[in-house]
Amino acid sequence: MATQIGGRGDSSGFLRPEAPAVLASTLERSVAAARAARARIDWERLRDAAHEIKAYAIENLDRLLVEFETRFTARGGTVLWAPTAADGVAHLLDICRRHGATSVVKGKSMVSEELAVNEHLGAAGIEAVETDLGEYIVQLAGQRPSHIVGPALHLSRQDVGAIFQRTLGVEFTDDPEALMTHARLRLRARYLAAQVGMTGANFAVAETGTIAVIENEGNGGLSSSVPPVHVFLMGIEKIIPRLSDLPVFLQLLARSATGQKIEVYTHHFLGAEPGKTVYCIIVDGGRTELLADPKSRASLYCIRCGACLNVCPVYRRAGGFAYPGAYGGPIGAAIAPTLSGMAHAGQLPFASTLCGACQDECPVKIDLAHQLVHRRFLARQADTTRGGVVARGIGVWARAMQDLTSYRRSVRWLRRAAAVGRRIRWYPGVLGAWARSRALPEPPRASFKEWWERRT
Amino acid sequence: MSRQRDRLLASVSDALKDARERARPLPEVVALEEGCEDPHVLAARFCEELRALAGFATIVHDAAACSAAVSEYLSSRAVRSVAVQSAPLAKRVGTGLAGLCVAQAVAQDKAALERCDASLLEASSLLADTGAAIVVLGNSQDRVLPYLPRTCVIVAPMSALHSTMSLASYGCIREALDSTVAGEALIVAGPSRSADIEKTLVLGAHGPQALAVFLIEEPA
């Protein structure tokens, strides 16, 4: 029997005891496929090249953005600038209203997750339909994606069958092919009816004003080609300088993301053909804060392949719902405190073993472990500056450690508190979400020293 | 609108003050080198790679033989209607298709193209190491052809073969940009697929379930 899944942003979808093991095994297969796909190419040379190109692009972003705008506009497109997430949403709503859109079909876009586009369009009476199968599944389930590349990786085929049965009214099946067919048939009509199609952008080429979008299902192709209006939604960091840089990234992205030599579809959008209206919304949404800090800048090199998630021991155990916001895993922990705010995601960099597996796997060689250490430093600095809970906690601990008597008294008190805490089944606020699926370990009856003294 | 542009660009410029002094040089272009140039070796590699992606590829002698082979392939898939891209070789092969309802895509609307069983496209470049084809689609009807019908056929001269995604293989995209072709240059490698449910591979996700490439030795 399939598990009942929780609502959007709810982590209860991960409560099945077997779920972490299933996820870890799925991710292990992804890693194995990615490593196998690197055979017969000079992987390290390409990684070095990609790192250098991204470093150049990020350090020349102001100039390259303007160059991209000029060329994209010359090819019949319109560039809209969004300093904030709210500006990005406002542009999108404005486009939909201007073109009388009541329905939008969406290819995969992490920025749209970041901006909560579906919710905003829905609130304005515009239906946004996800078309990537994984995104479609989580949209039907009322959840958010749990992985950058595999949004529904946390769900079993039985879960998907139950979701389709409940939301689409189809007979239950757990056959992936039958489930895909249900999705395809329903979405075909949506493509033809939608007035606006929206996709993300994997790479925006400054030299040519063209945009590359990479996918396997054909939903990106349909979302961009069938409706009369196409909107690209992209972060400022997607710029690369030249068309000749693109093959380097195509080789790396397909192998890292899905373990393929090349994805089924690599779209190079050349410009608006007759009868087509094309927009590109370029979003800052906190990225210039990362840009302004030389130590954080490399986090903007990310090409959203999800490879760092696949190898991360914390992500493998905790899953994507443990991370607030759109981005999970090591890269999410590095950028979310800035993009989503310290209050929302400031603790994420601390949820890492700093083992460095992520940076060994990263196709653009982002120094993720260093990024996380730096984010920890910034988080601690911010906490200390505002006299936050961690700073106060450390102050209390420092006092307790001042002399032996205080230390012993504190440890005894903590043991008693833990014993009481184990019996409590409900906690308020964030503690509640934590405690629902976890129990405090049983505290020892005596300290090691007491036990040793009794023993001898 | 322009205020938002200026604000965003000013934020970017401010954020990069320290980087200005360093002035990092533009990295050299990484040329993915062409390997073997023998078209028959490349063709064999291309066919092997495409088959590994659950596609079909074969070599035919000329355009007439291609029409016959495509007709046979489509009949085996119970295809009755074919929409053809506005490209010279595709048109020539399309004209020779026997026993099928053949129409130029540009004369159809998108709903009619959705009802077509197959599409016939022309590749400008083929990449042997990945079994991928580069197709330039310049109008809105041609643009939906790789995705809407359930079967996709691509024809290309063998001279379009490149060993890898080299700068030469990208020549057709540069050419399209220089001649101000709008629309899309698409690299397609096999039938559409998804592995979003438990990483189980399913073919024919939103695009075609079958993709075949016919390499023509002497297209002229």
How many residues make up chain B in this entry?
Answer: 220
Q: Provide the 3-class DSSP secondary structure of residue A231.
A: strand
The answer, for A32 touching chain B at a CB cutoff of 8 Å, is: no
Q: Residue B134 — very low, low, confident or very high, per pLDDT cuts 50/70/90? A: very high
> Going residue by residue through chain A (456 aa), what tens digit of pLDDT does each one get?
333 333 444 444 454 656 677 788 889 989 999 999 988 789 999 999 999 999 999 999 999 999 999 999 999 999 999 999 999 999 999 999 999 999 999 999 999 999 999 999 999 999 999 999 999 999 999 999 999 999 998 898 999 999 999 999 999 999 999 999 999 999 999 999 999 999 999 999 999 999 999 999 999 999 999 999 999 999 999 999 999 999 999 999 999 999 999 999 999 999 999 999 999 999 999 999 999 999 999 999 999 999 999 999 999 988 898 898 889 999 999 999 998 887 788 889 998 999 999 999 999 999 999 999 999 999 888 776 666 777 788 888 888 888 889 988 888 888 888 888 877 777 877 777 777 767 777 888 888 888 888 887
- The beta-carbon neighbor of B197 closest among A55, A176, A244 is A176
Question: How many contacts, defined by CB atoms under 8 Å, are there between A and B?
Answer: 244
Please determine, for residue B16, whether its predicted confidence score (pLDDT) is greater than 50.
yes
| Cα distances (angstroms) measured from residue B139 to each of A77, A96, A216 | 15, 23, 22
Please name the residues between 190 and 219 in chain B that touch chain A, using a CB distance below 8 Å.
Answer: 190-200, 202, 204-208
In the block, residue with structure tokens 């240059």: B185
Contact list in B for residue A260 (CB cut-off 8 A) is: 189
Give me the pLDDT at residue A387, please.
64
Q: Which residues of B touch A275 (CB under 8 A)?
A: 140
State yes or no: pLDDT of B126 exceeds 90.
yes
Query: Lowest mean pLDDT: which of A308-322, B59-73, B93-107?
Result: A308-322
User: Which pLDDT does position A9 carry in this prediction?
Assistant: 44
Strand B193-194 relative to strand B202-203, pairing: antiparallel
Do the Cβ atoms of B206 and A99 come closer than 8 Å? no
ipTM value: 0.97
Contact residues on chain A for B105, CB-CB shorter than 8 A: none
Instruction: Specify the higher pLDDT residue, B201 or A324.
Output: B201
What is d(CA A8, CA B73) in angstroms, rounded to the nearest whole number? Answer: 46
What are the residues whose beta carbons fall under 8 Å from the beta carbon of A217, sequence distance 6 or more? A131, A132, A133, A264, B192, B193, B194, B205, B206, B207
- Out of A160, A264, A273, closest to residue B182 by CB: A273
Distance CA B146, CA A105 (A): 18
Cβ B114–A60 below 8 Å, yes or no? no
Question: In the structure encoding, which two tokens stand for residue B50, read together?
Answer: 């495409």
The reply to whether B175 touches chain A by the CB within 8 Å rule is no
Residues A149, A305 contacting (CB under 8 angstroms): yes
If pLDDT is split at 50, 70 and 90, which confidence band does B116 have?
very high
Q: Between B27, B49, B197, which is nearest A49 by CB?
A: B27
3-class DSSP state of A247 = helix
Flag whether residue A268 sits within 8 Å of chain B, measured between CB atoms: yes
Q: Report yes or no: A134 at the B interface, CB cutoff 8 Å.
A: yes
Check residue A10 and give its pLDDT. 45
DSSP string, B45-88: HHHHHHHHTT-EEEEEEEHHHHHHHHHHHHHHTT--EEEE-SSH
The pLDDT assigned to A6 comes to 37
Three-state secondary structure readout of chain B: CHHHHHHHHHHHHHHCHHHHHHCCCCCCCCCCCCCCCCHHHHHHHHHHHHHHCCCEEEEEEEHHHHHHHHHHHHHHCCCCEEEECCCHHHHHHHHCCCCCEEEEHHHCCHHHHHHCCEEEEECCEEECCCCEEEEEECCHHHHHCCCCCCEEEEEEEHHHEECCCCCCCCHHHHHHHHCCCCEEEEEECCCCEECCCCCCCEECCCCCCEEEEEEEEECC
Please provide the size of chain A in residues: 456
The rounded distance, in Å, linking the Cα atoms of B10 and B7 is 5
Partners of B123 on chain A (C-beta within 8 Å) are none
Distance (Å, whole) CA B22 – CA A231: 36
Q: Which helix (H) or strand (E) segment is A420 a member of?
A: helix A404-423
Longest dimension (CA), chain B: 69
A55/chain B closest Cα distance in angstroms:
8
Q: Which A-chain residues 137-166 have CB contacts (< 8 A) with chain B?
A: 137, 150-153, 155-157, 160
**Distance (Å, whole) CA B70 – CA B121:** 12
Where do we find the tokens 């060994």? A360
Q: Give the one of B15, B114, B206 whose C-beta lies nearest to A288's C-beta.
A: B15
A98 has a chain B CB within 8 A of its CB: no
d(CA B158, CA B1): 49
Question: Is B44 an interface residue toward A (CB < 8 Å)?
Answer: no
Residues 127-146 of B with CB under 8 A from A: 127, 129-130, 132, 136, 138-140, 143-144, 146
For A116-144, give one letter per residue: b (16+ CB within 10 A) or e. bbbebbeeeebebbbbbbbbbbbbbbebb
